[in-house]
Structures are given as structure tokens and as C-alpha cells.
Chain A
């Protein structure tokens, strides 16, 4: 099993049975993770599977956006984070959900988790840099730290170019409002915002859906370089339909499939690709 190969896990879940109810249709859908799923430090996990098999549902549970429908039936659900002294700290999410400790769950989500969702959802009233800055503000970063991190991310994601023309002059892209961005720029800002506060886990939901492949691969490469570098404690969980992209980026591929004869989907395979971390000279697949 993968868990035996990984020394430093950041997330572990086993025995999830997430039931979703559609009140309008009166239908129920079940998402299962019967085996132990461990997300290692600096790992990139690709969640693959056909549409409607419960990838996004699994992502919402792992990302602490939704409560497990039966937290008591979970065998384990933990997250490991580094505290201010650099020591590992384990948080028993199963217990937190059972205790309905929403404020602590919210705190963990705010501080240790980042999201880059399908449509991005940048805040329309903020500029590029303000959007990137938002998670840092929420986590009480100092102004100086905010500024340096924003500059680092803007540079890393190639956002330090000229933006819209205002009064006959170019404005910096970082100072542009969101509605002035191209699709690629938008998605890069979303990715930059997702990792701005140096989260332990970053969830990326179909990052390539709104981008052409070149842009998507380039952006993901940057994300992996920053989130899963040697100095980083973080890991990335990515939903994708793109097998090539998964092969190219993921250290672990988690396959999900519908359960025959049931309105359900489950994790059917967890494969470690041993994909080495590439930080330079990324080659596009043919």
C-alpha cells in the first residue's frame, strides 16, 4: 500500500461513506472510499474518473467544505500540519466532525487548505493583487509578508505584465480588476490565490477546463513547483479528466468509478506513479 511508502502523510482518510440526497428528485447518491487514502507531503494526487462518479463530492469532504454524512463510520480522517515551531501536529477531523466543532474546522480550512476551483470565482470587487492577498489577510499575515508573497506569486505565475489601458497608459496587471483578465490570467490568479497563504493542502478542480493545454500545463507546473518543492510541507489534490496531465504531474493517481447497479461511486484504485518532482525544463507531451 502507498501508506507504507510514505513517511510523512498530510492527510489520511479511510472508510468514508458519503451520502448525498437530492431533495428535489428524492434520489440518493453514495460516494465511498473503502481503502485507506493517504496524501503524502509534497505529493500531487490526481483524482481521475468519469463524470458523476463523486470526485467533486470527495474533494468537498477532504477540503472540509462538507461534513461527512456519517462521521462515526469513518475509520480515520486526519490532517497533519506544522505548527509555528515547525513541529508536526495531527488533527483528528473525525472527532472534530463528531463534536461539530465548526469553528475549529473553519480555522483549519482557512489556515491549511487552499482551493482553485473549476470556475475560479475570484472576488469581482478586488484587483488581482488584492485577490491573491485575501487569504493572507484572513490568516493575519503582516503587511510586509503579504507584499513579498504577492510579488513572488505574481512573478511566478507570470502576472507581472501590463494590463488594461487606462487614460492612454498601461496599468500593471496586478492592479487590474478581474473583469479585465483573459481566461489564462484568471486561472493563474486563481492558482496563485490558492497557495498564497502556504496551505498544507491545495485542491484543484479541473484546472484545465477553461484553459488551453499549454497554458494549463504551464500554470500547473508553477503550482507544483511552489506547493510541492523540497522546502514545502504541502501537497496538491487535483481533479482531472486528463490522463496525460495526471501522468505528467501526479505522484499518486486515485481512480474512481461508478458502482454497478447502485447510485454510487467509489475509489477503485490508488496507484503511485513515482513521478519525480520536476522543477525545470518541463516538456510538453506530444
Chain B
């Protein structure tokens, strides 16, 4: 069976090569179908490429600049990365930021007021100028030729970047060294600009805004971070409790007011005088969903809250007590210097006041012990527990006394032994200023950092925010799509999309034209192939007849005709593509001016792509295969003897 199949193919092949004049004629006919389509596609591409020429050469062709404007979001590096992933076919996204600084090179004098712009490796703008950052090296700088000359530096040498910041009349400077990775022509001798990696520029910006830059060991500006609070405690005496209007007013301000007298009498119990348990009331003032967390904490001044209430209350900025893992609970408590609340404490000085230095602590109990508490990896407080018998910290002489006063609904002994009041019970408590506890919470939540250089808790800068970004799409054809996507997201956009869209429109019109022409040509191509092959098989009726007489099956006859048509299609494609590529060269070739005899030749841009060749090859094969089915079928159905008899007379 396989032998027969191979023999049929061999017969088809020999028919093709040995009866060459007929084959040649068929190949030329089919080539005449596919070649014009190939050239038409090439001319269309050439025309569009001619229109796009300038845009393709210039980086601005595929550049899109967009601003947050009124509706677009401000972009952090993370959200910019996410946006670039969401947008279709983005090659590069560079935040459009700049920073003025001074540069010092090999020359004696530094260059002042130099504007550094952000760039990234592969920046097409710099590529066009023949430069760019190497790899993802963040410590590089690209300078204008004139600036490089004035700094006395050449490629590969280093320059020092000097940044100056000023706060409250105090000037601070910071320096870092960058390697010159490119010298570009930035237009004119007075051009005072350079390009640095976007990440480096973000760090410069961070420094200028007063933040610490650990990458360059630059300290923060000498100012503490803002202390933030999870909520507030309001303390009133029974006879001057919060009124209904106070509660309403606080709720209107978005606070959630909850009475928590018992909880806080328990917490402060060891340090309170007995009468406090009868006369004091505590309320927690939180956000609508409870204690605030992270950067979202409250920053109101306590007086700002209590001044608006009718009750004579004391507002305590409050963060939940914190155990730093050393078994000691830190309670942040700061009160006004003079307040009636202090009189309820056995030691009125226990709570700190607002001028107290941050790193302070007090403990009324655990006399004689010394313990180290790690506040942060860099900051450690050594606590010497004071003698409770001294005047400063009178110890609680009798806990039974408090027990009498403390009214628990159920077994009071059990509650007390649960570790709140007894000095040997865990956790041990110390009092620290409210702002220290706020910072410790902030440190844990990573919005406050401890700067050992200045011994302060300083704010951690949030991610830089960009309001303007320049992005590059992969090709200019992708620009309109990206622009539309950005506009949908509310950004203001500047690009060449209008021009590109116009070219696209022309391109699609031409595509339609080529498509219609190709469909017509291929349709008539199929008809031509049917006709030609029909004639060819009619001429070979005698041969087909004898094949059938010898025992070649109808399928064998079909296969021989079909195989021959396939081979003709293949050879016609090869010939068509070869001639097409030859014409592409010839039409684009500009003869030397001295060859006057051929100056009449028009110069046309023809661009034949692989995809065009594949399309035309597909169309040609479709013509040959589609056009061969009917003749091959007809040939395979011939009556063997009739075929021989009829074949004699052809």
C-alpha cells in the first residue's frame, strides 16, 4: 500500500519534471496570480513606511508624556510599574522629575545650579544622542559636553553631586559621587544639565525634603517625626461628666466615644489614690472603626478636643500600651503640667508633661532592679527601677486598701491575680512620654525611623510621587492605543498619536484595497487553475485511462493530479517571491547620476515582509490546491476504457 502510494507520488513528480514545458506554463500562470499581490503588499508597506519614516527615526514618535492633571492619579514607583504593565506594549516608563544641584569635577570651581533630569537605561532620548546608562547602574551620570568640559571630566571619571537643603535658616549639604557614563550634545555651550538614574534622583529629592537617605548615609533633617495617636482618653470627674451635647459634638467630628472607666481604672490602678476609683470616669475616643493604625493615626492636640467640651475633662493622647518583648509594658502617658487629674495619682509626677524629653521613663514599682529595654535595634534604654520608698516614688504600701475600693462584679481576688495590680505580676509596667510610645508604634509600623546620627525618631518618607511621566511604546503603531488607555484613566496626554492615527487610517484603507484586490485575484486564480488543470487532465485522458487499466485506484489518480498541483503552487510561490524581492530591490535602487539612460526610472519604496510572503504563499497554495480538487476528482472518476478511447482523439 505504501509502495503504491510512493509510486503515485513518483509518477506525479516525473510528470512534473519530465513534461516540463507544460509544467513551466502552469507555473508561469500561477506566478502571474501571486506576484501582483506580493508587489501590492510591498508597495502598501513601503508607502506607510515612508509616511512613518520621520516618526520612527525620532524618539518622540513613540514617546507619550502624561500628567496627573485634575483626574489622573499621582504615581508612585510601584503604581507606575503597575500602570506600565497594564498599558499595552510599553517599552519604558521614566518619571519626568528634575532636581537642581551643584556638581564638582576635576576643575577647581564647582558648577552651580545644574539641573539633573531622570533617565533609565535604554532611554530613547539619550540613545538618539548616542549615550545611555549602562545596565541598571544607578551611580552613573550623563552630562552635556559643555558641562563636562567646564567640570574638567571625561568619560569614565567621576563627579561629586552636592545637594543643599535649608530648614529654619540652617543649611545642610550632602554629597555623593557618580561616574560619568556619557557626554552628549545638549545644544549650546551654556547648557547646564545632566541625566541621572530615576532612583538616584528620587533619593536626592528625599534628602532635600529632609528625610534620611540610608543608601548614601545621609541623615535626616534635625526634626522629630510627627507623633500620631490611635485615639484619646477622656477623663472626667463624676460631678463634671461629659454632657449630651459634648458626646454629640464629638460624634459629629467623626469620633467614636465609648466609656471605659473600669478598664482604665484597672490599668492605672496601682498608681491612683483610692478616691480616684470612686470619682473618675474614663472614655475612649477612637475612629469610627476603633483605634487608628499606621500613618492614619490622629494628630490633634489634646487641648483642641477638650476645649470644645462643656465638661471639665482631661484629654490624654493615647496609644495602646506596648510590650517590647522584654516583658515590660510601656504605657505612654503625658498630661498637662497643671491638671486636676494629677491630684488623683499617688505620685502626681508620674505622668509626663508635654515638654518632657522623648527618651524618659518612670516606674513606681520594682525597686532595685535594673533592666535593659530595646526600643529599636539602635536605641536601648537602661531602666534602673527606683526605690519605691523614696520620696520621688512612694510605693504602694497596702494593696488591700485598693482592693476595698475596687468594686468588681465577681471574684475580685481572681481578677487581681490575673496580673494587673500586684508588683510581682507580669507584665511589669513603666510610664513613658506619649510621644515615645507613638514613635515606637510608628517604628514597628514602619512610618517612623530612628536616626542614630541625630538621636531622633524621624519620619520615613513615603514613596516619591510623580505627577508627570514619559513613556515609550514598543512601536509608534502602539501609541494611539496607549494614549486612549491613559486618557481613560484621566491623565492629560501629549503625543504624536493624531499623526500616527492618520497614518493608521491610510494603512487600513490600503489594506482593505489590497484585501479586495487579493480576494478577486485569488478567486479568479482558482478559476484559472481549475480551467488550466482541467485542460491538462483532459489532454492526459489516455494516460489516466491506462493508469486506471493497470490498476491505479481513483485515489491514486487524484493523488497524482493533486500532488502535481501542489508542486506547481510551491514552485510558483518560489518564483513569485524571488521576482518580487528582485523588483523590491530594483524599484528602490537609485541609479548613479552618471547613468543618464536610466534616470527615468522611478524610485519607489517596496517593503516585502515575511508575513507578506507567507500570505501570498498561502494564497497561491490555496489557488492551486483549491483549483486542483475539481479536475483531480473528475480525472479519478474517469471510466478507464472511455478515457483511453477518448484520449486517442485528443
Contact = CB atoms under 8 A, between A and B. Distances in A.
B552 interface: yes
A204 B641 CA distance: 14
For A103, A122, A134, A135, the residue with the greatest tally of chain B CB atoms inside 10 Å of its CB is A134
Interface in A114-139: 115, 117-119, 121-126, 130, 134-135, 137-139
A243 interface: no
Contact of B641 (A66, A103, A177): A66
Given A121-B545, A135-B551, 4 more contacts: A122-B546, A123-B546, A124-B18, A140-B4
Contacts of B543: 121, 123-124
A54 to B, nearest CB: 13
Interface string A84-115: 00000000000000000001001101110001
Contacts of B4: 137-138, 140
Interface string A246-259: 00000000000000
B639 A66 contact: yes
Contacts of B647: 121
A138 B551 contact: yes
Interface in A56-74: 60, 63, 65-66
Nearest to B17: A125
Contacts, number: 66
B542 interface: yes
A106 B549 CA distance: 9
A68 to B, nearest CB: 14
Contacts of B551: 106-107, 109-111, 135, 138-139
Contacts of A139: 551
Interface residues of B, number: 24
Given A65-B640, A66-B641, A117 B553 contact: no
A69 to B, nearest CB: 13
Contacts of B410: none
Contacts of B644: 117, 119, 121
A134 B550 CA distance: 8
B11 interface: yes
Interface in B8-37: 11, 14-15, 18-19
Nearest to A119: B648
B7 interface: yes
A110 B550 contact: yes
A119 B649 CA distance: 11
Nearest to A121: B546
26 contacts: A60-B641, A63-B549, A65-B549, A65-B639, A65-B640, A65-B641, A107-B551, A109-B549, A109-B551, A115-B550, A117-B549, A118-B648, A119-B542, A119-B648, A121-B542, A121-B546, A122-B546, A123-B11, A123-B543, A123-B546, A125-B14, A125-B18, A137-B4, A138-B551, A140-B3, A177-B18
Interface in B532-590: 542-543, 545-547, 549-553
Chain B: interface secondary structure? helix
A264 B644 CA distance: 23
Given A106-B551, A140-B4, A126 B639 contact: no
Given A60-B641, A66-B641, A119-B644, A125 B7 contact: no
A110 B545 CA distance: 13
10 nearest A-B residue pairs (beta carbon): A110-B551, A121-B546, A125-B18, A125-B14, A137-B7, A125-B15, A65-B641, A121-B542, A60-B641, A140-B3
Contacts of A119: 542, 644, 648
B553 A106 contact: yes
A87 B640 CA distance: 31
Contacts of B553: 103, 106
A18 to B, nearest CB: 13
Given A121-B545, A126-B14, A138 B19 contact: no
Contacts of A121: 542-543, 545-546, 644, 647
A135 B15 contact: no
A122 B549 CA distance: 12
A119 B18 CA distance: 21
A131 B61 CA distance: 68
B128 to A, nearest CB: 62
B638 to A, nearest CB: 12
Interface in A178-223: none
Contacts of B542: 119, 121
Interface string A129-161: 010001101111000000000000000000000
A203 B342 CA distance: 134
Contacts of A110: 550-551
B100 to A, nearest CB: 86
Contacts of A103: 553
B11 A125 contact: yes
B7 A138 contact: yes
A199 B381 CA distance: 114
A188 B244 CA distance: 129
B539 to A, nearest CB: 10
A66 B549 CA distance: 10
A177 B549 CA distance: 21
Contacts of A125: 11, 14-15, 18-19
B546 A117 contact: yes
A10 B498 CA distance: 88
Contacts of B545: 121
Contacts of A65: 549, 639-641
A60 B548 CA distance: 13
Interface in A15-71: 60, 63, 65-66
Interface in B456-484: none
A118 B18 CA distance: 25
Nearest to B556: A138
A169 B644 CA distance: 35
A126 B14 CA distance: 7
B447 to A, nearest CB: 87
A276 B4 CA distance: 39
Choose among A60, A121, A124, A177 the residue with the greatest number of B CB atoms under 10 Å from its CB.
A121
A123 B547 contact: yes
Contacts of A137: 3-4, 7
B547 to A, nearest CB: 7
B3 to A, nearest CB: 5
A65 B643 CA distance: 11
Contacts of B7: 134, 137-138
Contacts of A124: 18-19, 543
Indicate the member of B550, B639, B640, B644 with the most A CB atoms within 10 Å: B550
A252 to B, nearest CB: 23
B538 to A, nearest CB: 15
Contacts of A122: 546
Q: Which of A106, A111, A118, A137 has the most CB of B within 10 A?
A: A137
B22 to A, nearest CB: 10
B498 to A, nearest CB: 63
> Which of the listed residues A103, A125, A137, A140 has the most CB atoms from chain B within 10 Å of its own CB?
A125
A187 B423 CA distance: 130
A123 B560 CA distance: 13
A137 B8 CA distance: 10
Given A121-B543, A126-B14, A177-B18, A138 B549 contact: no
Interface string B174-200: 000000000000000000000000000
Contacts of A177: 18
Interface string B626-650: 0000000000000111001001100
A130 B10 CA distance: 11
Contacts of A115: 546, 549-550
A177 B542 CA distance: 17
Contact of A138 (B15, B18, B552, B648): B552
A123 B15 CA distance: 9
A138 B550 CA distance: 8
Nearest to A60: B641
A63 B550 CA distance: 11
A134 B545 CA distance: 14
A199 B542 CA distance: 22
A210 to B, nearest CB: 11
